Structure 1
């Protein structure tokens, strides 16, 4: 509509002409073109542009500062504009009087420079948007350098992302080969540099080296960004070590020597695959046909892959935990027969850091330092780089009260030193702590209560006891246990995980359910900041004894039984922002009957690249 009217709160009639703004600009532009009432002349590149100061001030902070402050230009009729081309200034003046500008490949760089100097943000953003639209492997490097020169942070970020994602084509372009050593090292050092093999990074570095003789003086800085341990020894010897620039540089020789020292490379960033080559996956450990297996599952592409190395001991009765880095799996304790415990611990390295992509078949089980206390079926968690073992000890009779209890000894393991250290505090629990009862979050260890163990020694089954809704937290810094708000629905055989600072308790057996089948689909969430539990949306299926892993910000639940003797094949995913569950995948038929199931979220490099997936 050209005109619009309305009645305001006072009953007055309000009229608005929607065409007025354009008419005003058209009138001002006619005055400019006819040099009518113009009170300033902008001079640039031998050209003159008569203008009105009030129009210039209204569209540019640069001109606002120039003409409203007592500067010399505020009193001059002719003002020289430096640092821009006449074409760019002419286009911006036209924009000031029309609100329109035509951007093309031929003028975008000139226009961006002028818009940046004169602080015309709308035009600057339009130029950046246009360059993102036109970006390809031949111009992305130039666009990135231009964006950095003009402090266009969004364009600089987008162009760098393009360079890293399309590096296999970008590094062959003239723009890349002409870059400074600082920019080349920034690109080659990035965790997001997407290359199928590290040898391609070597190829890019050599092309850059041969482009200009002066690049030889700084090649050590470039070589330092290459993940040399991920390159095959034969390629390293034939292509890199044979270079004259490497032979003549002590720094390059040092980098080559470090690559051959496994102790130096054990924790080196250069020995790890780049982050963009790493997948967030689920590691599923289980027993089948009296043997132990491990499977890798990637929820994003719905593929399974077998872990080829057998475990040294059955999973039953053991506690397992994966390192936060996703490089190792620890298994501790033992329950080979009823009532037995053990101090043993084993470690399996899930990836060989010298191999890319990750080759799961090259890993091996190593026996590590033993715990001080023998345990079985206890809590084992990673917290702030340490591993904590909680509970799992044989029960003890209090001779004074004649009540049976379980001592809750806590030990801490240092993976770097391979040593265990007993913690000061000893707590008492009336129930045996199971692996699912213990979870770590934000520097604390939480216990979610399950069932009591009766004082009558003849009743051996823990399921005969009274359900508890008790929750406690343990602070390793002070070795103090503190009570927390109880869960709303006490349960056994549940799954638990942490997500975004909250603790989730999922599924299990809830005898308070008023039905013959007490398996539950209920999900509760605990907020440590408020010390409160809340109910979440229930799962699609009731699940007894499920397992859970958090991958890519979603909770994934698999396994368990919906009724006695019936294993579930589907995998459910929870979106905490929408509070919704969705079935996203199925367990392959040959894996559907899982025994002693464990599940972890791990980060591995290209686990599907070398052998066919399981079907």
Structure 2
């Protein structure tokens, strides 16, 4: 007979643990920080080479009934013993380092590795410098490398943490020598080093010449050079700088458009956001967090930090919101969880204003609003909205000056950050259905993106001026026709309106996705309050092959690092170049001059101001536009 009882090992451990808890048949007591732990020598020896050597050698402890263990905390020993008797490792986050230290001393590799993995996965701006010092003390190269890489990814923020000032000189030099520091200028690197010196200037000023060897001379401003020289401990010595002529990774940013597809129906295709560099025509991708579907919102800060909130985790028949909140780590290409919002919300308005992130309304919240403080990783409630804001694409939130503005069909409001109060403002002239709003040169611009299936739609840009509190139709009421989508976008300090149209006849329809689209771009002229058609073929917007009639593209603009982004693929994972080749499109990487070159007065031949009788000649007029692969 050959039979295996798969429950035997678990049953034995369970019985041994019961005996330990009752102090029955135990043959040794471990004394740790005044606490006594009755144990079985055989169990300890089977789990720990440290105890195995202790109990099977000629050491005095082998015969002692009570053994004192030094350099281990009582809480850590309790955790270690629970694991030894149950196979389950559980500890509080603030005890992980103690448990890892104890596991290394007791030579319990599984526990040590899992503790290190936990610390690596839970690195943040507040603890990463502490973890680096701890990993360096233990000579754990894997955890050291992970900590340094995380610090590099958040360098400017970590350098402001108190723990950063406690780094040893070798650790600081190792960080300052890295090419992948996420800093906007070399002056940021110098300032971080000078703050470290200033923490204990009497002792640390002597290290300035050594730190200078990490500074990249050609990228330091003249004012910063003067400050460095003024702190030099000896006027006779000449400071020697790094020979590297390579910019830090954070300084290799390029202004890109981040395209976010908003859909009206359930859709699983939003796996990544398209990032497009008009200066090169390059297309890249930012992967979205796992399990993210509809209902999310994204905002960008002036420091190019991306935040994402909300989401729907199921279909329209059983919608369920979850209150996730993330910050994007450019270097590590990951979305890092931040403090959950107070209220679960999806389709909320997410905006940044003067150091805070505001989450406005959304599904299941309707009137709730809250504010996030990145420096404290904390959400707090603010005054509720006067009117529910929750339907998909039915409202927009923007910021201007010191206020947050909410625009909707039911009404428009402004929130005063100083008074914590919502105030009614003028309603739009034409109440929008599916709207998009954007701020530009002290005003709010808004369009209605409502699109009927397989029919052309018309939109007019309305402009709100907070100085007089009035809405007006921009461009003297000029209207724009679109068949796929319409969206406002800022790039290079200029405001554009993009409309997408069917590029094929009606026989080429495939579930709302024509084989080719045509894209028209109008540039706003603030001096004359007019919209002019961009005729010169350039690369203002990427090919929008993945846009459907039931979706809309929202654009964010941020300075991103091409080498830190993924490759963008479309059309069932066909690479963009292959797709363009299949459709016979030519790549044109030239960029239209935002100063006005390539812009023409479009009163004669663009898709606007056509009146109700323009349907018969619309095909002829569309020929004046450009194919979407060439814009």
Do both share a fold (TM > 0.5)?
no
TM range (shorter): 0.3 to 0.5
Q: Which TM-score applies when normalising by structure 2?
A: 0.41
Structure label with greater radius of gyration: 1
Q: Which TM-score applies when normalising by structure 1?
A: 0.42
